[in-house]
Each structure stands twice: as C-alpha cells, then as structure tokens.
Structure 1
Amino acid sequence: MSSALTDLCRYPIVQAPMAGGASCPELAAAVSEAGGLGFLAAGYKTADGMYQEIKQLRGLTARPFGVNLFMPQPAHADAAAVDVYRQQLAGEADWYETPLGDPDSGRDDGYEAKLAILRDDPVPLVSFTFGCPTPAAVARLKRAGTLTVVTVTTPEEALAAQNAGADAICVQGIEAGGHQGTHRDDPANDCGGIGLLALIGQIREAVPLPVIAAGGIMRGSQIAAVLAAGADAAQLGTAFLVCPESGANALHKQAMTSPLFNRTELTRAFSGRPARGLVNRFMSEHGPYAPAAYPEVHHLTSGLRKAAAKAGDPQAMALWAGQGHRLARDLPAGRLVGILAAETAAAGSALALRNPA
C-alpha cells in the first residue's frame, strides 16, 4: 500500500463497513487493536448516531480506523412499480403484524451532515459507497488530514474516483456480500458483474491508485492471492460478521454456516438495489418482482425485516453474505486477524518458493 495507507495498519487486512449494525465500535476496535483496519458503517444512521459511534470507538482504541458513507441517490424509481411491490408485500405485513414503511423516507442518508461532522472532527480514513464524491468534498477531507477511498466495481468507476482526487479505491468483485457498490444502478447490468481477480487486473491497468480488494475473501491464502494480483490490501466483511464482537443479529450469524442456507444470490427484494445474501423464502418469493428502487424498497421493507428478526424468523431477514460464507469462523475478531495474517504470510512464502526470483 502507499505509505500513508500502510501507516494505518500493521497487516493488509481491512474489516468491511457493514451497514445495519454488524460493524459496531466493538468490532472495529478489536480489528484495529489486532493490527488490521477497523471500520464503522455510517449508512442508515443519523449524523449524530455516527458521531456517537466514533466517540465510542475512540474510547476503545487509539489505533486508526475508517468511516464509510453512503452517497445520496438520484430519484429515478418508478413510483407505480414501487406501489405494486407494496401491494405484493401486504401479506408479509399482515403475517408479521407490522406496517410497511414509507418509501419516501429520504434519499440522502444524511450525507452532508455526516460530511460536516467528519470535516470538523476528522477521522483517519473515510470511504464512499454507491457513488463518487465531488472533488471539492474530497479536497475538504484531505485538508482535514483524512484519507479517502471510493468503492468501485468497474474500471470506469475507478477513473471517476481518480478524477475526484481519491487516495485509494476499494475494488469490489461480484462475489462480495451485501450491496454492490456500483455508482449507477442500472437494471440492465443485473446479470453482469466482474469477478474480483479479473477486476483487479483491469483496474490496475486503468489507474495507478492503491487498491483495497473486496469480495468473497475468507482465508489468508485468498488475501495473498489478491495481493499477488496487484491489490495493496484485502477487505473482509462476511469473515468478521460472525465474530462475537460483531453487532449482527444472532440469527444472521448462525445462518452463515447453517445447512438451511447453502447458497447466495444477488437480489433487489429487500432494498431495491442488487445485494448478495443467503437465499431464503423472502428472497425467493419476492426477488423476481422487486423493482429497481433504492432506497424506496429499503424503507418499505425495513419494518418487516426487524419484525422477522424479533420473531426469530431468518426466512424474511436480509442475510447478507459473500460467496465464501461457508468458510466463516466463529472466532474473536483479534484472533481472526492474527490467524489471517499468519495464513497470508505462509501463502506468500509458499508462492515465493514456487516462483523464485
């Protein structure tokens, strides 16, 4: 990694910012304390909620960490299609005895207020998902001493990040769990997507920025593989989701290795944006009909997902997971970082022996 990013962590291991509660201060602190780079997810939180978590994290560790922001989304959803989907979900609302949410609850996720806090009280690193910040926004964070990372899924998005002045890019392959961080949500691309190793190669030829690789990484040997492919660090989400420090729901953690959930798919069922999760009843029944409408569908289904979790029913929860979910290890986050670092070093040594200079 570039020297500035290298200074943030001892190992090239980044804990992914998982919105929805998993990436809590306890998890981020444990990862950073162990030599990785912990992350808080500001998505779906208020600006004050984000600030309170930053304060809590600073009380748990003096090590560097990152904060992830969701970019505001353009208004392009078909209101009629959202209404049809609302009608389709009426039976779910009756079953879980909870009203459907208001699809017009907000599009910007408090972006400007969060940026203002991060400029006034800087953190070491800020990353962006669902789009690219303006050069002015990046410049203001840089003046505050903050490094910036933009999530990208294509070489074209990587070029946009470079033009905006980003310090690094998080290259997300199609294997990744949770939402695809595309800058533009185009339903025509729902069957597309590029695998991580191929994407690293393409982006390395397009831009010179440091690369944090994300997507299906669960073992140190895979970290070594993306490093050999040209990445500077690896970002892992699903691998940390099952750790005891993670704030993910217990049902979500159990589902990672449950024989009831043996595969993942990309779906719009829960949020209106493509996201990879474990295939469950809700995804199977509603995924084929969910419109391209984010965050409208997210707001619409939010109460349903919470009610399902409260009822102990994972079949209507958004069980976000990467393709490597079966390799999840229920270990304390600090111990997992140490094991991953050792596995990465061993794999790197083995590769060097096979390919001497």
Structure 2
Amino acid sequence: MTLTDRLGIDLPILQAPMAGVQGSALAAAVSASGALGALPCAMLGPDAMADELALIRQRTDRPLNVNFFCHTPPEPDDEREAQWHTALAPYYAEFGLDIGSVTSGPGRRPFDHEACDALEAFRPQVVSFHFGLPAPELLARVKSWGAIVLSSATTVEEARWLEARGVDAVIAQGLEAGGHRGMFLSDALTTQVGIFALLPQIVAAVEVPVIAAGGIADAHGVTAALTLGASAVQVGTAFLCCPEATTSTLHRQALQSDAARHTALTNLYSGRPARGIVTRLMRELGPIGEAAPAFPLATAAIAPLRAAAEAQGSGDFSPLWAGQNASGCREVPAAEVVKALAKGLSPPR
C-alpha cells in the first residue's frame, strides 16, 4: 500500500502546518482538494484547537493532519534575558517603548496530556510532530486510536531515531524550508543540508516512507522529489498568499517582492533557528544572536517592536517566514495551488 493510500488522500501532496499564518480555513481547503491539509496547534490551547477542528469537520470530511511541537519548555535565564533586553533597547527607544514593561508572550505549546485529551475526541487520521516526538505514553495514546504518525527529520540520524520510535513516515526537512527547523538531536547548523542531498540519504537509511519538504514550489519540484525516492512532498510557502491563509498584508507583499529571494536562518524571533525573509532586525543584529533567549522565550520582547513597526507599515521586526523558493506563492485559492503542484502526476485512482 502506498503512503497516499494509507493517508487516504488522492495526491502525494501535504500542506505544511504553519503556525501564525493559517488556521482551519487553509487546512480544510487543501484537504477538500485531494491533498492533505494541516492544522498547526503549537499556538493553540485545547479549547481553541477543538474549535478549529470542529470548523474543519464542518467544511470537509477528508483526512487531516494535526501538528504539534515537542520541545521542552526552558527555564528562564535572567542573565540572558538582560543581555537580550540590552540588545533590543535602542529599538525600544526608537519607538518610544519601555523595555521594562515586557511581559511573557504567548510562546509555543508542546504536546501534552491536556492537548491529547482534547485531540482524542476528534481522532484525526494523521498527527505530526516537530522537534522530535512526545513522551512515549503520549505517542502510544495517539497511535492507539489509529492515527498515522509523522515527524520531521533534518539529518539521517534524526530519521533513524524517529523510525526506531515508531513513526509511520519521516518528513525530510531540507535546509531550504521556511519556518522553524525541526532539528532536535543537535543544535549545530552545520548539520543542515538541502533537500535533494538529504532526501536520498534518508530514503536509503530508513524503511518507512519519506516525505520531502523544503524548496518545492511547483510541479517540477514535486516530480524531482518523487524521482529521488520520496513517497510524497510537503509544501508550505506556496500556500502563504492564498486567500484561505491568515498571512498579514506586509508578509504577503514581502513574499511577492524581490526581498523574498534573500532568506536566512534566524533565532531572533523565537529563540530557535527558523528561515525567513531577511529583515532590518536580522541585518543589524546578525540573523543568529547569542543573546536571544531559548525557544520560545525570545518572542516576548520582540512582540512590542513588531506591533509598533507594523502599525507604521513596516515589517522590520516581523518574522516573515518563507522558504528559499517563493516562486510558487500566488494570490490564488489553495485548490489551485494543489492543482498546479500536481500537474503531470498520474490521475488519482
């Protein structure tokens, strides 16, 4: 049985879960089109997640991927926080803001028993994880209701680790991918490689199906990934300008400008490496800053600067997440993006 058959979808195309720029509307539209839509839950509490899942079920009964982060929340570090505030103080002064009034932000929620309780009521067909896997007892609960489990690997070692712990398929996340790196066995960015170098190595290293992610923006990229052994592809950036996405106007404008050709990995916005369009903050502080607090604590002090700049029509302090190839990012319905990506594939049976 192919992975497409196991997932219950018509096309070997998955929409990447993208916290902060999408909700139920995009997930439902992609799933209804025959691909696999995804709902990111890292920024949702259990009640909000249940509301979004209910909305999706009202719009489509097709399979859905529900995605969670698996990081360990860090202990606050007062010294590092002070260094971070010192680095940001000139920008606060520029906008007339008081850095002493910074409070903790919404952060990112790891998968826990409370989330699992809420999720079990819906029993989604697919559950995926970023930054490894949850505790064994939580993973066992998810698998007990028949869910197919996916997780991201950025290296061969991570792919083998995931396979050994029972994932049904590995998402090979190439260096080109937008948003947060799924790396979890090492913090070394030198371990990160492009998808067409990573993909065949992971395919050769594991027995489970492999899903290719990163830099895939059109049908040619889909075909190339499948030729190199992928069972499916995962695409994110190409959906960011769809009307069903919640991407801000500033972010959409950047994605469709020449600026989108210059992206970099940065930890300034969350505390963990993530790929986005290069902004003033990244240029002036350097994209990787040692003072940035551990994920997701860096978000809190950035939020007031982002709000102040965006109020003036500027994305200088906004996380403009994007992959290295934004050429497929168009203002068309999600179903049209799916259709374009699937061009040339064999018709679904």
- TM exceeds 0.5? yes
- Contact 2:113–2:138, Cα closer than 8 Å, also in 1: no
Task: Return 292-301 or 93-102, whichever deviates more.
Answer: 93-102
Match in the other structure for 1:88: 87
User: CA distance change for structure 1 residues 206 and 3 in 2, over 3 Å: closer, same or farther?
Assistant: closer
Contact 2:43 2:107 survives alignment (8 Å) = no
Change (3 A) 1:140 1:99: farther
Q: 2:62 is paired with a residue of what secondary structure? A: coil
Deviation track 1:132-184 (CA, whole Å, cap 9, x = no partner) reads: 22333222112112111111111111122112211111110100001101114
Is the 2:272–2:294 Cα contact (8 Å) retained in structure 1? yes
Partner of 1:112: 113
- The match for 1:308 is 309
> Relative to structure 2, which stretch is displaced further, 154-163 or 302-311?
302-311
The structure with the greater share of residues assigned to helix is 1
Query: Whole-Å Cα distance in 1 between the matches of residues 333 and 182 of structure 2?
Result: 28
Report the equivalent of 1:351.
none
Quick one: structure 1 residues 184 and 112, their matched pair in 2 at CA, closer, same or farther if it must change by over 3 Å? farther
Give the superposition deviation at 1:215: 0.4
Distance in 2 (CA, whole Å) between partners of 1:4 and 1:48 is 31
Query: 1: CA distance between counterparts of 2:41 and 2:97?
Result: 26
Q: Report the secondary structure of 1:316's partner residue.
A: coil
Q: SS at 1:314's partner residue?
A: coil
Separation in structure 2 between the aligned mates of residue 110 and residue 97 of structure 1, nearest angstrom: 38
Give the Cα separation in 2 of the matches to 1:98 and 1:43: 28
Do 2:73 and 2:295's aligned partners in 1 also have CA atoms closer than 8 Å? Answer: no
Post-superposition shift, 1:277? 0.5
Mark the CA change 1:93 to 1:5 in structure 2 (over 3 Å): closer, same or farther.
Answer: farther
Give the fraction of aligned pairs with identical amino acids, expressed as a percent.
38
What SS class does the counterpart of residue 169 from structure 1 fall into? strand
- 1:58, distance to aligned residue in structure 2 (A): 0.9
TM (normalized to structure 1)? 0.88
Contact kept in structure 2, 1:242 and 1:328, CA below 8 Å: yes
- Amino acid in structure 2 at the alignment position of 1:170: I
SS at match of 2:152: strand
CA 126–308 in structure 1, closer or farther in 2 if over 3 Å, else same: farther
Matched, 1:53 2:43: no
User: Where does structure 1 lack aligned partners over 5 or more consecutive residues?
Assistant: 347-357
Preserved contact between residue 173 and residue 199 of structure 1 (Cα < 8 Å): yes
Instruction: Calculate the aligned-residue CA RMSD, in Å.
Output: 2.3
Q: How far apart, in 1, do the equivalents of 2:98 and 2:153 lie?
A: 35
C-alpha distance in 1 between matches for 2:4 and 2:218: 25
Question: 1:16 and 2:16 equivalent?
Answer: yes
2:170 corresponds in structure 1 to 169
TM-score normalized by the length of structure 2: 0.90
Residue equivalent to 1:181: 182
Identify if the C-alpha distance between structure 1 residues 54 and 104 changes in structure 2 by more than 3 Å, giving closer, same or farther: closer
Once residues 201 and 77 of structure 1 are traced to their aligned partners in structure 2, the CA distance between those partners, rounded to angstroms, is 40
* Residues 34-45 of structure 1 aligned to structure 2 (within 5 Å): 34-45=33-44
Which amino acid in structure 2 is aligned with residue 126 of structure 1? V
Q: For residues 107 and 277 of structure 1, do their structure 2 counterparts lie closer, same or farther at Cα, with a shift above 3 Å needed?
A: closer
Residues 209 and 299 of structure 1: is their aligned pair in 2 closer, same or farther, counting only changes over 3 Å? farther
Alignment partner, residue 242 of structure 2: 243
Aligned length: 343
| Contact kept? 1:46, 1:109, Cα under 8 Å | no
The answer to whether the 8 Å contact 1:133/1:164 transfers is no
Q: Deviations over 1:243-297 (max 9, x none)?
A: 1111111111111121344310111111111111101101112235343611111
Contact 2:66 2:127 in 1 (8 A): yes
Structure 2 residue runs without a partner (length 5+): none
- Taking the aligned partners of 2:220 and 2:320, their CA distance within structure 1 comes to 25
Counterpart residue type for residue 59 of structure 2: L
Q: Distance between the aligned counterparts of 1:143 and 1:131, measured in 2?
A: 19
Shift of 1:99: 5.6
Bigger mean CA deviation after superposition, 315-324 or 195-204:
195-204
Q: Counterpart of 1:51 in 2: which secondary structure? A: helix
Q: Is the 8 A contact 2:259 2:277 kept in 1?
A: no
Taking the aligned partners of 1:15 and 1:214, their CA distance within structure 2 comes to 10
Aligned to 1:85, the other structure's residue is in SS state helix
Letter in 2 for 1:44: M
For residues 14-63 of structure 1, give each alpha carbon's deviation from its aligned partner in whole angstroms, at most 9, with x where no partner exists: 1100011x231111111111111100110122121111111111111111
User: 1:128 maps to which residue?
Assistant: 129
1:6, distance to aligned residue in structure 2 (A): 4.0
| AA in 2 matched with 1:25 | S
CA distance in 2, matches of 1:26, 1:106: 23
Distance 1:288 1:146 in 2: 37
Displacement of 1:7: 4.2
**Cα distance in 1 for residues equivalent to 2:142 and 2:4:** 15
Q: CA deviation at 1:122?
A: 1.1
Whether the aligned pair in 2 keeps the contact of 1:152 and 1:181 (CA below 8 Å) is yes
